[in-house]
Amino acid sequence: MEYKRIEDKIVFRLEMGDRLMESAQKIAAAEGVKLSSINGIGACSKIIMGYIDLSKKEYIFKEFDGNMEILHATGNITLKDGQPFPHIHISVADEECKAFGGHLQEATISATFEGVMQIMDHEIHREFNEDLGLALMNVCPIK
């Protein structure tokens, strides 16, 4: 993993075997990121992604192995329990160029991943919403 901070952006590159969510969290923690958008492209050999089942109030995850191109990974980094928390959705294409995607739990990088974080000078915390079973961004805290 390599990264460089350039003003309000962090440009980063992951290498074979790096894990996307883990790496994004480590970079954000090291650089004191409290609010950021994140996006990138690359390739992975293993991915765990899913969707929210609102009737159960939980994510349903599926694991995929094999060579996949990361067509687009996009999301944000906020704070959850005081720590940087990446929330990323991802689209990938398999060896037949069939695309699919979902809420990313983790992806193991194969060739590379090239990403950018756009840091904002603010902080947003996540708070658990009982009705949905999700930790949502609290963009307008009650004072």
pLDDT in tens, the chain (143 residues): 999 999 999 999 999 999 999 999 999 999 999 999 999 999 999 999 999 999 999 999 999 999 999 999 999 999 999 999 999 999 999 999 999 999 999 999 999 999 999 999 999 999 999 999 999 999 986 54
The domain locations on the chain are 2-138
The pTM is what? 0.94
State the CATH class of domain 2-138: alpha beta
Give backbone dihedrals phi and psi of 26, rounded to 5 degrees, phi first: -65, -45
Q: What is the pLDDT of residue 143?
A: 47
Query: For residues 47 and 8, what is the distance between their CA atoms, to the nearest angstrom?
Result: 29
